[in-house]
Amino acid sequence: MQIIHTVQALREWRKTAGRVAFVPTMGNLHEGHLALVREAGKHADQVVVSIFVNRLQFGQGEDFSQYPRTLQQDADKLSKENVAVIFAPDEKELYPHVEQRYNVEPPNLQNELCGKFRPGHFRGVATVVSKLFNIVEPDTACFGKKDYQQLAIIKGLVEDLNFNIRIVPVDTGRASDGLALSSRNQYLNETERTEAPRLYRELTAIAEALRQGNLAYAELENAAIQNLTAAGWTVDYVEVRHAESLKVAHAGDKDLVVLAAARLGKTRLIDNVEVHLD
75-116: pLDDT as tens digits: 999 999 999 999 999 999 999 998 889 999 999 999 999 999
> Is residue 142 located within the same domain as residue 267?
no
- Indicate whether 15 and 151 sit together in one domain: yes
Is 30 marked as a binding-site residue?
yes
Question: Is the same domain home to 224 and 264?
Answer: yes
Give how far Cα 38 sits from Cα of 35, 41, 84, 97, 244, Å. Answer: 5, 5, 12, 35, 25
Clarify whether residues 10 and 37 are in a common domain.
yes
The answer to the question of whether 146 is labelled as a binding residue is yes
Q: Would you say 31 is a known binding-site residue?
A: yes
Quote the CA–CA distance of 82 and 201 in Å, as a whole number.
35
Q: What pLDDT, on the 0 to 100 scale, is given for residue 63?
A: 76
In a domain, 103, yes or no: yes
Tell whether residue 50 is among the known ligand binding residues: no
How far is C-alpha 15 from the chain's CA centre? 29
Render pLDDT for 130-180 as a digit per residue (tens, 0 to 9). Answer: 999 999 999 999 999 999 999 999 999 999 999 999 999 999 999 999 999
- For residues 193 and 162, state if they share a domain: no
Which residues have a Cβ under 8 Å from the Cβ of 273 and sit 6 or more positions away? Answer: 200, 203, 204, 206, 207, 257, 258
User: Does the annotation flag 121 for ligand binding?
Assistant: no
Measured distance CA(107)–CA(147) in Å, rounded: 17
- Rg, C-alpha atoms of the chain: 19
Is residue 178 one of the residues assigned to a domain? no
Query: Could you tell me if 152 and 45 lie in one domain?
Result: yes
Q: Which of 60, 68, 56 is nearest to 26 (CA)?
A: 68
Query: Which of these three, 114, 141, 170, is where a domain ends?
Result: 170
d(CA 59, CA 10): 29
Give the sign of the dihedral formed by CA 81, CA 35, CA 113, CA 250.
positive
| Residue that terminates a domain, selected from 115, 135, 170 | 170
Catalytic residue among 5, 33, 242, 276: 33
Confidence class for position 62, pLDDT limits 50, 70, 90: confident
91, 51 Cβ separation under 8 angstroms: no
- Give me the number of domains the chain comprises: 2
Is residue 258 within 8 A of residue 201, CB to CB? The reply is no
The response to whether 145 counts as a known ligand-binding position is: yes
Residues 194 and 74 reside in one and the same domain: no
Q: What CATH code is carried by the domain that includes residue 91?
A: 3.40.50.620
Range 7-21 average pLDDT: 97
Please report which helix (H) or strand (E) contains residue 31, including its range. helix 31-40
**Is 165 domain-assigned?**
yes
| Residue 33 appears among annotated catalytic residues | yes
Residues spanned by the domain of 188:
183-276
Backbone phi and psi for residue 48, each to the nearest 5 degrees, phi listed first: -115, 130
Do the beta carbons of residue 76 and residue 114 sit within 8 Å? no
175, part of any domain: no
Q: Are strands 166-170 and 234-242 parallel, antiparallel or unpaired?
A: unpaired
**79 labelled as ligand-binding?**
no
Q: Was 182 annotated as part of a binding site?
A: yes
In contact, 160 and 180? CB cutoff 8 Å:
no
Provide the total of helices (H) and of strands (E) in the chain, helices listed first: 10, 9
Backbone angles phi, psi at 73, to 5 degrees: -65, -40
pLDDT, averaged across the chain: 96
User: How many other CB atoms are found less than 10 A from the CB of residue 266?
Assistant: 11
**Residue 229 maps to which CATH number?**
3.30.1300.10
Residue 66: which pLDDT band, with cuts at 50, 70 and 90?
Answer: confident
Q: Is 181 flagged in the annotation as binding?
A: yes
In this structure, the answer to whether residues 33 and 153 fall within a common structural domain is yes
pTM equals: 0.95
